[in-house]
Structure 1
Amino acid sequence: MRRICIVGAGFSGSVIARELAEEGLNVLVIDERDHIAGNCHTYRDEESGVMVHKYGPHIFHTANERVWEYINRFTEMMPYVNRVKATVKGKVYSLPINLHTINQFFGTSMSPVEAKAFIEDKARTDIKDPQSFEEQGLRFVGEELYNAFFDGYTRKQWGVEPSILPASILKRLPLRFNYDDNYFNHPYQGMPKNGYTAIMEKILDHPSIEVRLGSAYEYIDEEFTHVFYSGPLDRYFNYDIGRLRYRTLDFEEVRGVGDMLGTAVMNHPDPETPYTRISEHKHFAPWEAAKFEKTVAFREYSRFCEEGDTPYYPIRSLDDKVLLETYEKKAQKEEGVTFVGRLGTYQYLDMDVTIQKALDVAKAFLEKNRD
């Protein structure tokens, strides 16, 4: 069997490469960037010593025991709980919306039962079947909380009216009537002790895997038995029927001494603030944060992704879904190519889902091609 080519050295490509290599296949992993780990790439900041998430914060969380065991094969996962704060009209609140948020915002001291009844009274019960993000938010928490925490943030993050975004974006956010400010509900949560790039280095450390950086698939002049493509789906077809739309992020670096935010992530939902949030990266590694005298944080600005930008979030509007369906039909006709990952399937995937899907794809390929 000739070599397998894997386009992209993020979680999708790296996991598939490792699974195939362990079964004796010869694998070439290429990535046009000068580093592995895709958008999960981490590095030590030279000035402060802080481990920086180059493309924005990545917090590992999952309910999938198999994925948790898999990631722990290649790293030591340290305890980490994501506790997000939000500055609204000059006051700081806890997210996701919980009993503390509700009591602080409305100046009350309600019990869980009282708060639940209070929010139910605020909610727009006339909206029976929410279809848009806006309808879901109003039905979810009522106008005051929706306008304070969701409306402005969403407009900045997505660049469109919340009334045309799907309700599903908001449905996954919790609303709690206790004082639990853990942003995620998953039983397994943590941060890799040595960063995400170190994980990918270990996954790709196999004698049957060659990694070639600074190499775009379009310029690889070799024949392969099969290609696993985790690049942009529309790019593979040279955008011949149009471009799928993404949001991208610009980062503004802020440096200081000591503790700048007192937390890892501070959201800024107010529409007057041009950025969506600011993240102080030393707090993503609480086991070592105290030893760093200097600190570094990044403000995030969201905008539409243009040619040459790094794609982050697929927009998946109605027009995008129609275009996606056409590309998917073209992809199904491609022989010897499997489209994987966030870009290859044009869907937002958390890291644990990405790993699970990569394991499943590799298993299916091996079973199909086993002698």
Structure 2
Amino acid sequence: MHILLVGAGLSGAVIGRQLAEAGHQITVIESRDHVAGNCHTERDPETGVNVHVYGPHIFHTDDQEVWDYVNRFERFLPYKNRVKTTSQGQVFSLPINLHTINQFFGKTMRPDEALAFITEEQADTSIEDPQTFEEQALRFVGRDLYEAFFKGYTIKQWGMDPSQLPASILKRLPVRFNYDDNYFFHKYQGMPENGYTQMVEAILDHPSITVRLNTHFTRDQAGDYDHVFYAGPLDGWFDYELGRLGYRTLDFERFTYQGDYQGCAVMNYGEESVPYTRITEHKHFSPWEEHEGSVLYREFSRACEPGDIPYYPIRQVDEKALLADYVKLAEKTQGVTFVGRLGTYRYLDMDVTIREAMDTAAAFLEKGTEIPAFVKSPL
């Protein structure tokens, strides 16, 4: 069959490769002038640094099949994400760990002492069933740590008070009562040696795959193909006829520095008075390379407007109601399967995106054009 993939990010590339290897003819169209979507990387001509153009992407997974898959196309080298945060005139380690707790409170507690201190003296145990981000933070780390590390950052990132956000957002952030400052806890963690774009180009390098960049999709193109896998915005497929789903977008203030600007890849700024959420120093994402010059981004989060790049789906009550209406429309639509972060309006890590793309391709090989609009429901 002749299959159209809309979007040359991870979803489109992986589905396209799987189906091409099974004998189908694949066309991938991409509105930008490069592949790899928001994980696009490119060499800065001035410094030689491999820059994560749309903000840093760190690969971490417990899925060995996914890990083996990405390493088939690009060698991944070890990388541990060790985040720092500047707050109240000091630099602390994130996620909150024993060093953070001892430094913040001026103590020298052992693990069991710190656990008792946080759970018995700091945590608000009157909150039995946390429903909001703020309640979750107060229940598990207490007001002092919440206000130092989470409150201001969250207001800047999401544009609303943490009391309006669901508790689930904070449940991803661990608190450790040892000195482990590795942000993630997955078995496999690393960075592609030559960047994500080179990896995606390798995935798409197959004689049965045609890639067309700078090509915008319109629904009338779908009729030229046996099936469409659509990784664009779900509401965009329907020309936003029910309204626009809400996203946060990012603005990047790029600057360069001769030497080492901050000594780490990611420095958060937890206070609301600092307008940006963090500064990322991109040469530290490739610690096996050496560069005198440095490329850095200050990140600013704001509401996504038409024409902006959507980053984080908001998925508040209003958005979920609108999403449910779009899902009903999509499920009545023939010949298209919605995939990826934008197509299913979900925040997805890269490994989950690849896993779902592999599963989607397998479902198509089993069911053909009888495949549903969503292999993984957005609801």
Under TM normalisation by the shorter chain, which class is it?
over 0.9
Quote the residue 1:321 is aligned against: 320
Alignment partner of 1:94: what SS? strand
3-state SS in 2 of match to 1:217: coil
* RMSD after superposition: 1.0
What is the DSSP-based 3-state SS (H/G/I as helix, E as strand, rest coil) of the residue aligned with 1:102? helix
Q: What residue is the counterpart of 2:108 in the other structure?
A: 109
1:252 aligned partner: 253
1:330-359 Cα offsets, whole Å, 9 max, x none, are 111111100000000000000000000000
Residue aligning to 2:82: 83
**What is the aligned partner in structure 2 of residue 333 from structure 1?**
332
Secondary structure at 2:130 match in 1: coil
Deviations, residues 247-275 of structure 1 (Å, cap 9, x unaligned): 00000012111101100000001111000
Write the distance in 2 (CA, Å) between the matches of 1:326 and 1:234.
10
Give 1:92's aligned residue: 91
Residue aligned with 2:99, SS: helix
| Structure 1 ranges of 4+ moved more than 6 A | none
Q: Normalised by the size of structure 1, how large is the TM-score?
A: 0.98
The reply to whether residue 128 of structure 1 matches residue 110 of structure 2 is no
Alignment check: 8 A CA contact 2:247 2:311 kept: yes
Deviations 1:74-116 (A, max 9, x none): 0100010000000001100000000000000000000000000
Q: What is residue 270 of structure 1 aligned with on the other side?
A: 271
Query: In percent, how many aligned pairs have the same letter?
Result: 65
Question: For residues 330 and 367 of structure 2, what CA distance do their matches in structure 1 show?
Answer: 19
Is this contact kept in 1: 2:28–2:211, CA < 8 A?
A: yes
Distance 1:210 1:220, change over 3 A: farther
Residue 28, structure 1, aligned to residue 27, structure 2: yes
- Please list the CA deviations of residues 166-220 of structure 1 after superposition, one character each: whole Å capped at 9, or x if unmatched: 1000011110000000000001000000000000000000000000011111176
Summarize deviations over 1:29-68 as a string: whole Å, max 9, x none.
0010011000000000011100000000000000111110
> Equivalent residues in 2 for 1:283-302 (5 A)?
283-288=284-289, 290=290, 292-302=291-301
Q: Give distance in 2, aligned partners of 1:89 and 1:111.
A: 24
> Unpaired segments of 5 or more residues in structure 2?
370-379
TM-score, scaled to structure 2:
0.96
* Structure 2 Cα separation of the partners of residues 112 and 293 of structure 1: 40
- CA distance in 1 between partners of 2:160 and 2:327 (Å): 25
Question: How far does residue 360 in structure 1 lie from its aligned partner after superposition?
Answer: 0.3
Residue aligning to 2:309: 310
Query: CA shift at 1:369, angstroms?
Result: 2.6
Counterpart AA for 1:248: T
Deviations 1:128-147 (A, max 9, x none): 00001010011110000000
Residues 139 and 87 (structure 1 numbering): CA distance in 2 closer, same or farther, change over 3 Å? same
Amino acid at match of 1:66: E
Matches within 5 A, 1:3-22: 3-22=2-21
Once residues 362 and 115 of structure 1 are traced to their aligned partners in structure 2, the CA distance between those partners, rounded to angstroms, is 48
Q: How many residues align?
A: 367
User: Partner of 1:205 in structure 2?
Assistant: 205
SS at structure 2 position matched to 1:73: helix
Q: Deviations over 1:311-336 (max 9, x none)?
A: 00000000000000000011111111
The one-letter amino acid paired with 1:327 is Y
Alignment-mate amino acid for residue 35 of structure 1: H
Question: Which structure 1 segments of 5+ residues have no match?
Answer: none
Quote the Cα distance in structure 2 between the aligned partners of 1:369 and 1:145: 52
The answer (yes or no) to whether the contact 2:219–2:237 under 8 Å persists in 1 is no
